[in-house]
Amino acid sequence: MEGLVAAERRLLEAQRQGDVEALDELLHPDVVAIGPDGATFTKEDDLDAYRSGALRITSLVERSVEVRDDGPSGVSRTVVDVEAVQGGAPADARFGYTRLWVVADGRWQVLAAAFGPVEARDDPGPAPGRSPG
């Protein structure tokens, strides 16, 4: 089984590519997420946004990834710079994602997530081996 950092990075790549099949594998069937406005959404809500084109990520640059895992569960905290088109409107922001991961069906899956904008001072800088832009 891949490590949690690898699973987090695979999720970021799936978001970047709009890869619904990979997202389907990485999101737990019962996942619940909370967005910046406090709205909650499900796995199907997220997958539908990618399928329909309502959300299209044009750039996603990892700034930092931290993980803590304890056997069958773990938490990731990731900061990314995102450029996207959502609902036809362009968006550009730095987001912090906090995700609760669990091992289900022999692989890491996201069970809960929350994300929102972060200030540059909250950003520890680019992840090792990555350039900031």
Q: What is the pLDDT of residues 20-79, one digit of tens each?
A: 999 999 999 999 999 999 999 999 999 999 999 999 999 999 999 999 999 999 999 999
Q: Which fold has domain 4-119?
A: Nuclear Transport Factor 2; Chain: A, (3.10.450)
pLDDT at 120 over 70: no
Phi/psi at 96 (5° precision): -105, 130
pLDDT at 133 over 50: no
Cβ contact 43:13 at 8 Å: no
Tokens 């036809």 identify what position? 88
Sequence ranges of the domains in the chain:
4-119
Cβ contact 31:11 at 8 Å: no
Kindly give the pairing relationship between strand 73-86 and strand 89-104: antiparallel
pLDDT at 131 over 80: no
Position 124 scores a pLDDT of 53
CA angle 27, 32, 35 (to 5 degrees): 110
- Compare 131 and 109 and report the one with higher pLDDT: 109
